[in-house]
Structure 1
């Protein structure tokens, strides 16, 4: 089951069910039936607006964002889907800090719920740096079905890796 690298943390029974879907070539049908359309957040400007809308709705008092962008290198270089970076540097006598969110460019052509899940994940890092209980509680506060969407997004990534683009 080496084709299931995105699902290694899940129960073997669940991995076996997914492998059966792959073997029967049913994974694309499952994903397309559940998520027939992609979002229209197609560039960095729209992505910033999308992220800021969520930030202002759920964690308005968190640190400001200096940059929000799609990044075509994230998935390959960092084996991640999004990055939240916090940079501090001394400028004169002041300590300046910047928060940036970068989302893998593979989410430019994805269902909106998967983009939403990744953005929620990265926004949660503004308040909680570690993947701990408080982090996941914040994710669920912003997106109640966070864990189910994370699993289905992992199915989507598995499909992309095996068969290429699902949406054209």
Structure 2
């Protein structure tokens, strides 16, 4: 039997009924099957180059005028060091007489082996930070505009991360 869900972690803030339902699925060893049924295929975005191309397609579709994106990479240290799944950073640099803004997105390398929907959710989240720095109402409206199922995907991702934290196998191994 797997350990209990750590309610103070990924599922904090969600209704107790939902957290208990996740707990039951984990205890019954059914959560992987439920997630695999809902998200059956893994994506093929494995390299930094293909990740950059994937992010740029989404950016061009929804944030055409948001400025240049200089770098998009998978980051193996991100989850451990910053306790984050993605990170958007922007820094101003002086180049000669001009001030240039460098913008980059780092995505936890955990997403190399997740369903495409989860990768899209974290990419949308980080792209939204280009326009909206803070997690406020307009930030989440922008996320939902770029990905209408954003809130469901965020919850399902949190459920999956909780499952992994309790010792569950990654979906690509569980299937």
Q: Structure 1 residue runs of 4+, over 6 Å off? A: none
Name 1:89's counterpart in structure 2.
93
Q: Unpaired runs of 5+ in structure 1?
A: none
Q: Tell whether 2:165 aligns with 1:166.
A: no
Q: Tell whether 2:53 aligns with 1:46.
A: no
Which structure has the highest helix share of the two?
A: 1
1:160–1:166 Cα contact (<8 Å) kept: no
Q: Tell whether 2:67 aligns with 1:63.
A: yes
3-state SS, counterpart of residue 16 of structure 1: helix
Shift in Å, 1:2:
5.0
Name 2:128's counterpart in structure 1.
124
Q: What CA distance in whole angstroms lies between the structure 2 residues aligned with 1:27 and 1:74?
A: 26
3-state SS, counterpart of residue 39 of structure 1: coil
Matches within 5 A, 1:3-152: 3-4=6-7, 5-152=9-156
3-state SS, counterpart of residue 93 of structure 2: strand
Number of aligned positions between the proteins: 168
CA RMSD of aligned residues (A): 1.2
Kindly indicate whether structure 1 or structure 2 has the higher relative contact order, using CA contacts under 8 Å at least 6 residues apart. 2
What TM-score do you get using the length of structure 2 for normalisation? 0.92
What TM-score do you get using the length of structure 1 for normalisation? 0.95
